[in-house]
């Protein structure tokens, strides 16, 4: 026991970890200062080449749910509810729409977050509501997009 205490007293935890050679590791305390995690951006969801409407960005990895999808288009009116399922996380999906919709001319007006997340976007004459809902571990997420004329138009 005395030998163990003597050994522990004579060597710092850093020296014990490094095999006792503190001089070889002069800058141990700031070894990670040169590693910049911000320089490696988190990859976001990619923009899908298949878009139902030109100004409604969709990420890759969405599967259309025909039971929750309807589209009406005429010469003067477009409205739709687009239903999708995906394995992407709600946070990834929200970040995708928050990042990509402004590039398509949409302005984020508000976010409602409970167990369901709703992102409300507007542009002149149009409204876009993106609803993200968790369906459980095995069923993934449900994405519902409402694309309508702006109220009062």
Record the pTM: 0.70
What pLDDT does residue 82 have? 97
Write the DSSP assignment of 113-151 as a string of letters: ESSEEEEEEEETTEEEEEEEEE--TTT-EEEEEEEEEPT
Backbone φ, ψ for residue 107 (5° rounding): -110, 125
Cα separation, 54 vs 131, whole angstroms: 19
Residue 13: pLDDT band (50, 70, 90) is very low
- Condensed to tens digits (0 to 9), the pLDDT of residues 15-58 reads 444 455 545 445 445 444 554 545 555 678 988 888 888 999 99
- Cβ neighbours around 38 below 10 Å, total: 5
């Amino acid at each position: 026991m005395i030998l163990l205490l003597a050994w522990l007293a004579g060597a710092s935890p850093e020296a014990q970890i490094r095999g006792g050679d503190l001089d070889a590791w002069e800058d141990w305390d700031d070894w990670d200062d040169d590693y910049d995690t911000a320089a490696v951006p988190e990859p976001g969801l990619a923009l899908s080449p298949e878009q139902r409407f030109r100004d409604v960005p969709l990420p890759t990895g969405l599967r259309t749910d025909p039971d929750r999808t309807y589209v009406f288009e005429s010469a003067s009116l477009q409205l739709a509810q687009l239903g999708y399922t995906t394995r992407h996380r709600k946070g990834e999906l929200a970040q995708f729409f928050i990042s990509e919709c402004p590039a398509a001319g949409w302005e984020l007006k508000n976010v409602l977050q409970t167990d369901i997340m709703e992102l409300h976007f507007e542009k002149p004459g149009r409204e876009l509501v993106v609803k993200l809902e968790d369906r459980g571990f095995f069923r993934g997420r449900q994405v519902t997009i409402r694309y309508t004329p702006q109220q009062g138009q």
